[in-house]
Amino acid sequence: MVGDVFSDVLKMADAVRWLYGALMVASSAVAVSGNLLLLLLLLLRRELRSDTRGFTLSFGVSDLALGLSAIPFGAHNGLAGWVGPASEGPLCQGSAFLFLLLQTASLHSLAWATVDKFTEICFALSYRSLWTAARSRAVLALVWTFSLLSAALPLLGFGRFVYSESRFLCCPSFTPEHRLFVVLWMAAGVAAPIVAMCSLYGYIVYVARKQARRGTFRCNEQHCFYVPANNYLRSSVVMVTNSVCLLLCWLPHISVCLYETFSGLRSPSAVSALSCWLSVSSAAFNPWISCLTQTRYRDAARRSLGGFVKRCTCTETPVELRPQSATLQMDPTNCISTTTTITTRPSLSPKLQHHCDPAS
């Protein structure tokens, strides 16, 4: 009886391990492809360049690095059934430091990109004066300084990095002995940017609904035209999707980590693994939901892809050679620009001569 129960537990553990590994492989592929596409568009398309594109570049680079480092590491550990490196070894400490650094930088960069979007929509007249290149660089420097300090604290003795057998990753130790570090990181590094983003998205949706109810007119120098309500409703759907995705990815992870920290008990392996996968999968969802759902990014991607296809399918058309006449004949209705001096025919009228004169 006991042997049967033990065998069932092992089978369930193997199923969770294989499922976790497969999900991590899929997340890594989506994160690398989406963030690589986003970075290429930002670097190659001039219409996407702005003083605040550094925020998008920052979370794109962070998520791409997560898709190339921490996520494949977890996938390998899950699929191979590896017990993991020693917690005090340099491999575990270095990978945990990189994991914490990239997650914190990604969330805060995404939060500031949301602040930039909020300012552009709600303070359109003063947007250029509020967000300058110097201020954007200063904010990015603060974001990465905070992320570096947060990730370095466990290496300095405040908190601890360990290998989690249920998460198949090196991460902070969620135990009562290190609850102060866990609470501070969860509050300032994770919860604060998520609450800020959801609040700003909610206000933008509120403004969009007001505009959709009363309608509005958009004007340029020539004329004004009516903007349909579904334009605002479509933008609202994108904002709501961003908020829901953030909450779905991070709330389970936050809940599980705080439960383990304050109770001193370990969560079930399946719950711990699934919550960890959801938190790292935000790196895969961010580029597709936050940026590539916007019209300007889709148009830039469509133009880039169209130009690439044209260059690949372009074939050289043979030039048809036609016999040339030895004498140059000039039709009175055309003008020929050449360096050779051409004498105008006497039969040309003065009006036609003035029309064909390049100086006229």
CA distances from 135 to 51, 59, 116, 138, 197 (A): 9, 17, 12, 5, 20
Residue 332's pLDDT is what? Answer: 43
Residue 207's pLDDT is what? Answer: 75
Q: Residue 227: beta bridge partners?
A: 216
Question: Domain residues of the chain, as ranges?
Answer: 2-190+249-306
What pTM was estimated for this model as a whole?
0.77
Residue 48's pLDDT is what? Answer: 81
3 state SS for 239-277: HHHHHHHHHHHHHHHHHHHHHHHHHCCCCCHHHHHHHHH
Q: What is the pLDDT along the chain (360 residues), one digit of tens a residue?
A: 544 444 544 565 778 889 999 999 999 999 999 999 989 988 888 888 888 889 999 999 999 999 999 999 989 888 887 777 888 899 999 999 999 999 999 999 999 998 988 888 778 778 888 899 899 999 999 999 999 999 999 999 999 999 998 899 999 999 999 999 999 999 999 999 999 999 988 888 887 777 666 655 555 555 554 555 555 556 667 777 888 889 999 999 999 999 999 999 988 989 999 999 999 999 999 888 877 667 777 777 778 777 766 777 754 444 444 444 444 444 444 444 434 444 444 444 444 344 334 334
Residue with tokens 């300007």: 296
May I ask the CATH architecture of the domain 2-190+249-306?
A: Up-down Bundle (1.20)
Q: Cα dihedral angle (63, 66, 68, 71), rounded to 10 degrees?
A: -130
Residue 249's pLDDT is what? Answer: 93
Residue 308's pLDDT is what? Answer: 65
Residues 162, 287: Cα–Cα separation, whole Å: 30
Residues 91, 93: Cα–Cα separation, whole Å: 6
DSSP 78-131: HHHT-----TTSHHHHHHHHHHHHHHHHHHHHHHHHHHHHHHHHHS-TTHHHHS
Residues 119, 115: Cα–Cα separation, whole Å: 6
Residue 83's pLDDT is what? Answer: 75
Residues 82, 162: Cα–Cα separation, whole Å: 15
Helices 70-80 and 269-286 meet at what angle, rounded to 10? 150
